[in-house]
Structure 1
Amino acid sequence: MKTPVSPALVAVVGPVEPALLAAWTAHYRRLGVERFHLAFHFPDHIHNAWRHQLIAASHDLGIVPARISTGPWHEHTNTQLRDFLREHAGPGWHLIADSDEFQTYPALLNEMIAWAEAAKHKVIGGLMLDRATNDGRLALWRPEIGLDRSFPLGGHLTHRLLKGDPRKIVLAHSSVTVASGNHRAPGHKPDPDKLACVHHFKWRSGVLDDLRLRVDRFTSGDWAEQTPAVRSEASRLLQHIDRHNGRIDVADPRLAFRHVTLDRLPSGWAAEAAKITAIWRPHTAQSQPGSTISSPSS
Structure 2
Amino acid sequence: MVAVVGPVEPALLAAWTAHYRRLGIERFLLAFHFPDHVPDAQRHQLLAAVHALGIVPTQVSTGPWHEHTNTLLRDGLREKAGPGWHLIADADELQTYPAPLEDVIGQAEDTGRKVVGGLMLDRVAADGSLASWRPGPGLERAFPLGGHLTHRLLQGDPRKIVLAHSSVTVASGNHRASGHKPDPHTLACVHHFKWRAGVLDDLRRRVERFSSGAWAEHTPAVRSEASRLLEHVDRHSGRIDVSDPRLAFRRVTLDRLPDGWAAEAATITTAWRPPTPQNQPGSTISSPSP
- Same fold by TM-score greater than 0.5: yes
For structure 2, the 5+ residue unaligned runs are 278-285
- Residue 289 (structure 2) aligns with: 295
TM-score, normalised to structure 2's length?
0.96
Counterpart CA distance in 2 for 1:66 and 1:294 is 17
> Deviation of residue 203 (structure 1)?
0.1
Counterpart CA distance in 2 for 1:246 and 1:294 is 23
Please list, as runs of the form range in 1=range in 2, the aligned pairs for 1:244-263 lying within 5 A after superposition: 244-263=236-255
- Residue 199 (structure 1) aligns with: 191
Structure 2 residue corresponding to 1:242, chosen from 226, 230, 234:
234
The question of whether the paired residues in 2 share the 8 Å contact of 1:131 and 1:201 is answered with yes
Please list, as runs of the form range in 1=range in 2, the aligned pairs for 1:259-278 lying within 5 A after superposition: 259-278=251-270
TM-score, normalised to structure 1's length?
0.94
> Deviation of residue 119 (structure 1)?
1.0
- Residue 139 (structure 1) aligns with: 131
The question of whether the paired residues in 2 share the 8 Å contact of 1:125 and 1:195 is answered with yes
Counterpart CA distance in 2 for 1:145 and 1:115 is 36
**RMSD of aligned alpha carbons:** 1.0
Counterpart CA distance in 2 for 1:278 and 1:17 is 34
3-state DSSP class of the match of 1:94? strand
> Deviation of residue 215 (structure 1)?
0.6
3-state DSSP class of the match of 1:265? coil
Task: Give the number of aligned pairs.
Answer: 282
Runs of 4+ in 1 over 6 A off after TM superposition: none
Counterpart CA distance in 2 for 1:154 and 1:257 is 5
Structure 1 residue corresponding to 2:224, chosen from 225, 232, 256:
232
Counterpart CA distance in 1 for 2:171 and 2:287 is 15
- Residue 209 (structure 2) aligns with: 217
3-state DSSP class of the match of 1:35? coil
3-state DSSP class of the match of 1:232? helix
> Deviation of residue 294 (structure 1)?
3.4
For structure 1, the 5+ residue unaligned runs are 1-8, 286-291
Counterpart CA distance in 1 for 2:232 and 2:289 is 18
Counterpart CA distance in 2 for 1:125 and 1:29 is 20
Structure 2 residue corresponding to 1:188, chosen from 180, 190, 194:
180
Does residue 73 of the first structure (1) align with residue 57 of the second (2)? no
- Residue 74 (structure 2) aligns with: 82
Counterpart CA distance in 1 for 2:10 and 2:76 is 23
3-state DSSP class of the match of 2:56? coil
Please list, as runs of the form range in 1=range in 2, the aligned pairs for 1:275-290 lying within 5 A after superposition: 275-284=267-276
Identity of matched residues, %:
78
- Residue 171 (structure 2) aligns with: 179
The question of whether the paired residues in 2 share the 8 Å contact of 1:214 and 1:295 is answered with no
> Deviation of residue 149 (structure 1)?
0.7
3-state DSSP class of the match of 2:160? strand
Does residue 123 of the first structure (1) align with residue 118 of the second (2)? no
- Residue 99 (structure 2) aligns with: 107
The question of whether the paired residues in 2 share the 8 Å contact of 1:169 and 1:178 is answered with yes
> Deviation of residue 284 (structure 1)?
2.4
The question of whether the paired residues in 2 share the 8 Å contact of 1:211 and 1:295 is answered with no
Counterpart CA distance in 1 for 2:228 and 2:133 is 24
The question of whether the paired residues in 2 share the 8 Å contact of 1:141 and 1:150 is answered with yes
> Deviation of residue 90 (structure 1)?
0.6
